[in-house]
Chains A and B, each alone.
Chain A
């Protein structure tokens, strides 16, 4: 069992989920108020990582993050570190690759809230911020939880993008998915089995959590 790889994966997944979900919430709220044409365009861009092969996405991110790129140079000047083959670059790549997993569940959950519920809140004197906090988020929270869980578990299992942008540097960019690949390559099937089983358990726990939350919110409203 490659514990440093598992720890790195958990850190990466947690950071991605915790950073991306609030950004996704803000994006969903912003898109709801945009004209239809702009919304369609952004919706398409949001869904793109779903259909792009991970290695292709990773390849382009490698090009954009590289030391010769504007972003890479700007980041190096700012932090003294480079983006490629570092945890920072891995995190940024994960944020981009996971956009649809965070945005789509939240978007669906907010779309299911009747517009009249928000209008009733405004007519009751609640500001837009209070309406979001007191009415929309409690009604949409299974979707927000689903976004957190999906982003977390998908990041844990991400391989192509991670390998392209981060490579395979122990304690820095080697995640558990890459460690499983390494184990298989070196005929260490037992280690591969253990690490795969851990990922399976985390995925099942995530699905169970979403299911429980959906049932729970159903009971609360009944």
Chain B
């Protein structure tokens, strides 16, 4: 666990009511996305940070202050933690106006300064003119902004966002995401965002932590996790479906490897420390699978060429998702996307034979996992 002056660090473990075995760190000004399937403990971790739930073991430090330490018996109440929390359904106070909702969180300021500060925060979140409205008189996006203004009103040491965009429509979501990205430049505190949406995490987060069943599976930049997962389980959780098993046959002097997969010899640019003759899992993100043209030779078509029969071909707007079944084995399926016009021009259809290249630079090796095709 890195020492982050002014940052947030959490080590939390418990068995009941849900298993937790998590470690997180978030530096000031950094946005950390907590990603994982439902029930993976993302929201529970936010509640631990806020003081709404106490794990059985571990510690939580923020800005150099011990908020929770099971061993030392320290457990500050939520009121003493300076947390800005945007709840999933916003949890605005329905009987209070937007301004009064924000005023509730300004108790730390002298009474004469609170009104002006509340108006300033509402203006900052683009709610000027709506101060007197009750939550029920505001749209979902406006309610979300009130919740954000209220969370920032405490002058928080950490900002916690629990799926803040899940209850708004797509257009509003995009606008709010842009606003959050701008806000990050203005508040120099750790921001923890819980989300199901990998695109959202990739777009907004500096770092990402993947959770499953309460355990931290991998932490790193979104780019790292989405292209270089540490295990086949992580690969699947980040929707990388091209996960296979194989044996590393050899490694040359430049560190390039040759992978034996089914009847194919696959070149791999980086072997990440795996020794020859090691049984392992490997993954190739769909953007590293290149379809060969039928009418003329394609660039790089000699790089790990694979032939298969098209098992599925699904146009999804501008892109067409293709699934290639190898050697007649429906378990060995490589999925990738091509622009729809390319699919059309190449006569891509179910049952047709197609050739693809697996880019050596895009292949990532991981420890072996049982029951992987290969």
Contact = CB atoms under 8 A, between A and B. Distances in A.
Interface of A: 114, 116-117, 119-127, 130, 134-135, 138-139, 217, 220-222
Interface of A is mostly: helix
The 5 A-B pairs with the shortest beta carbon distances in the complex, nearest first, are A124-B105, A120-B91, A116-B91, A122-B78, A123-B85
Interface in B108-139: 108, 134-137
Interface string B153-192: 1100000000000000000000000000000000000000
A126 B84 CA distance: 13
B107 A139 contact: no
Interface residues of B, number: 28
B361 to A, nearest CB: 46
A124 B154 contact: yes
A222 B137 contact: yes
Name the residue in B51, B87, B95 with the highest tally of chain A Cβ atoms < 10 Å from its Cβ: B95
A119 B91 CA distance: 9
A34 to B, nearest CB: 18
Given A126-B79, A126-B107, A120 B94 contact: no
A116 B78 CA distance: 13
Contact of B104 (A126, A217, A221, A222): A126
B78 A123 contact: yes
Interface of B: 50-52, 77-79, 83-85, 87, 89, 91-95, 104-105, 107-108, 134-137, 150-151, 153-154
Contacts of B153: 124
B79 A114 contact: no
A221 B95 contact: yes
Contact of A119 (B84, B87, B94, B107): B87
B52 A117 contact: no
B87 A124 contact: no
Contacts of A127: 79
A124 B134 contact: no
B93 A117 contact: yes
A120 B79 CA distance: 10
Contacts of B154: 123-125
Nearest to A123: B85
Name the residue in B50, B87, B94, B108 with the highest tally of chain A Cβ atoms < 10 Å from its Cβ: B94
30 contacts: A114-B91, A117-B91, A117-B93, A119-B78, A119-B85, A119-B87, A119-B91, A120-B85, A120-B87, A121-B93, A122-B52, A122-B78, A122-B79, A123-B50, A123-B52, A123-B84, A123-B85, A125-B107, A130-B107, A134-B93, A135-B93, A138-B95, A139-B93, A139-B94, A220-B95, A221-B134, A221-B136, A222-B134, A222-B136, A222-B137
A127 B79 CA distance: 7
Contacts of A217: 95
Contacts of A122: 51-52, 77-79
A61 to B, nearest CB: 40
Nearest to B107: A125
A125 B151 CA distance: 10
B44 to A, nearest CB: 13
Given A121-B93, A122-B79, A123-B78, A116 B87 contact: yes
Nearest to A120: B91
A134 B105 CA distance: 12
Contacts of B93: 117, 120-121, 134-135, 139
A125 B104 CA distance: 8
Nearest to B93: A135
Given A124-B104, A217-B95, 20 more contacts: A119-B50, A119-B52, A119-B85, A120-B85, A120-B93, A122-B51, A122-B78, A122-B79, A123-B83, A123-B85, A124-B105, A124-B154, A125-B107, A125-B154, A126-B107, A134-B93, A139-B94, A221-B135, A222-B134, A222-B136
